[in-house]
Amino acid sequence: MLAIGTLSRKTGTKVQTIRYYEQIGLMNEAGRTSGGQRRYYVKDLDRLAFIRHSRQLGFSLDSIRELLDLSDNPSQSCAEADSIARRQLRQVEQRIKRLQALKKELKRMVAECDGESVAECKVLEVLRDHSECLTNHDEIGA
């Protein structure tokens, strides 16, 4: 039986995060010692590792929930798992595209400013006026 700190160390997950996963039903409720501390089986460690690895690959907790459900029923077809992964791939590709457009704009504004006063700062000028941009960027955030 493993203590929560062991799971934490073995998977690089904060202890609070493990408790959080339990709270939202992603991890099963762990057994407890007489004093109330959580104790885990190796299969719980495996599940946590799966969750963390999926997070590292950018999957949302909702997607991970689906993937875990599928993984628990080995007889089904894996079409659904594959489609979740393909969706994730498309999202990543979209993000890369968007970020590359941002990179281009940022690079240009930084390059074109020669560091004079704020009044002539190219960076601030572009931020004030989108018509100075080469690309459209209608979505917000990262």
Q: Which residues bind Zn ion (CB under 5 A)?
A: 78, 82, 113, 121, 123, 130, 133
| Min CB(133)–DNA separation in Å | 18
Binding mask 112-141 for a copy of itself (x = CB under 8 A): -x-xxxxxxx-xx--xxxx------xxxxx
Q: Give the DSSP H or E segment for 55.
A: helix 42-56
Query: Taking the complex as a whole, how short is the minimal distance between the CB of residue 62 and DNA, in angstroms?
Result: 6
10 binding a copy of itself? (CB under 8 A): no
- DSSP string covering 4-27, please? HHHHHHHHT--HHHHHHHHHTTSS
Binding mask 30-69 for a copy of itself (x = CB under 8 A): ----------------x--xx-xxxxxxx--------x--
Enumerate long-range contacts of 98-105, CB under 8 Å, 24 or more apart. Answer: 98/137, 98/139, 99/142, 101/135, 101/137, 102/137, 104/134, 104/135, 105/133, 105/134, 105/135, 105/137
Q: Which of 38, 39, 15, 26 is nearest to 71 (CA)?
A: 26
Q: Which residues bind a copy of itself (CB under 8 A)?
A: 12, 46, 49-50, 52-58, 67, 70-71, 73-79, 81-82, 84-86, 88-89, 92-93, 95-96, 99-100, 102-103, 105-107, 109-110, 113, 115-121, 123-124, 127-130, 137-142
